[in-house]
Structure 1
Amino acid sequence: MTALQNANRHATAIVLGSTGILICGPSGAGKSELALALLHAAHRDGLFSALISDDQVLISSAGGRVIAATPPAIAGLIEIRGSGLASVEHLDCAVMDFALTPVSAENAVRLPPFDSRFDLGAGIFLPQAFLRWPAPDPLSKLLALCPGLETGRPARLSPAGKDP
């Protein structure tokens, strides 16, 4: 595995509890909107939540972990498409535990493979989950995919019937 150092990726990175989530997808897929919905729902439910970076994420790897950081010029800013930029609570960097890809209802696969991996380049991968978006209550769906996420401790994607 080759190390990555500040590779700029088109994505959005957030932390819920102590779990880092890299939201990936093409432009217009709803990454920022999904991130904002997850951040606010987590905060409302008393779970720590913070933005790392929106639209541009600097990806590095160290010790087998993926680290996401924000370019200083956009720290704490998230795009609300059609409305502009908004300031939200943020962290400068965090370890990413998995990638989350929003998919439209018409493109959603009923049962996508659970062992999907998101390729960050240089032989670096993150486990990947898919979430239909837009849809009501994305946090509940994410909590079902990541048992233990609601506790604030690090959570991982877990296939049905398996311990995380």
Structure 2
Amino acid sequence: MTAAPNVHGTAIVIGTTGLLFLGPSGAGKSAIALHCIEEARSRGLFAALVSDDQVLVSNAGGRLVARAPASIAGLAEVRGAGIVSVETIEAAVLQRAIRLVEPPFAERLAPEGETVEILPGRPLPLTRLPLFAGCTAFSTLVAIHPEILAA
């Protein structure tokens, strides 16, 4: 059996929607993902961390499944504060990748139907999540994808 590839990102689940936050080190993936979890919970939705920083992604029955490496399961790094324990779930089916983008934005509008290849031949729909003063990541994500609240 081949080991699941390790993807640099943070995976969470909101309701039944698995989200994979992507971006370079220091981009804010962990902070935004943890914020989205707390905001979702404050709205009465189930939300949990799957894995922070390293995400093991496997193809199971045509679906991309995220898991945490055993060494970091249940942990998240809060930059500048340290490693914290976070409520997690063992696995989640990924439905969407989220790429954090900061101003100035190179493009006014993201390309329609944009995807990112997570495993060879296995893309996920990609959402660019703009980060700017005065907005909350979760509210912006829900404005772009209201179906997350229905999950």
TM-score range, shorter chain: over 0.9
Post-superposition CA distance 1:73-103 (Å, at most 9, x none): 1111111101101111101111000100001
Corresponding residue of 2:22? 24
Corresponding residue of 2:146? 147
Runs of 4+ in 1 over 3 A off after TM superposition: none
Aligned residue for 1:55, secondary structure, equals strand
Corresponding residue of 1:160? none
For residue 21 of structure 1, report the CA deviation from its aligned partner.
0.2
Aligned residue for 1:144, secondary structure, equals helix
Unaligned runs of at least 5 residues, structure 2: none
Structure (1/2) with the larger strand percentage: 2
Corresponding residue of 2:86? 88
User: In 1, Cα distance between the equivalents of 2:8 and 2:75?
Assistant: 15
User: In 2, Cα distance between the equivalents of 1:148 and 1:122?
Assistant: 27
Corresponding residue of 2:9? 11
Unaligned runs of at least 5 residues, structure 1: 154-164
Larger mean Cα displacement after TM superposition, 114-123 or 54-63: 114-123
Question: After the TM superposition, which residues 1-164 of structure 1 pair with which residues of structure 2 at under 5 Å, given as runs?
Answer: 5-107=3-105, 109-135=107-133, 136-151=135-150, 153=151
The residue identity in structure 2 corresponding to 1:137 is T
User: In 2, Cα distance between the equivalents of 1:12 and 1:123?
Assistant: 21
User: In 2, Cα distance between the equivalents of 1:132 and 1:14?
Assistant: 18
Percent of aligned pairs with the same residue? 45
User: In 2, Cα distance between the equivalents of 1:99 and 1:111?
Assistant: 17
Is residue 30–residue 133 contact of structure 1 (8 Å, CA) maintained in 2?
A: no
Aligned length: 149
User: In 1, Cα distance between the equivalents of 2:36 and 2:122?
Assistant: 25
Post-superposition CA distance 1:91-119 (Å, at most 9, x none): 11110001000011124532111311111
User: In 2, Cα distance between the equivalents of 1:32 and 1:108?
Assistant: 24
TM-score normalised by L of structure 1 = 0.85
Post-superposition CA distance 1:124-144 (Å, at most 9, x none): 110000011255221111112
Aligned residue for 1:97, secondary structure, equals strand
CA RMSD of aligned residues (A): 1.5
The residue identity in structure 2 corresponding to 1:24 is L
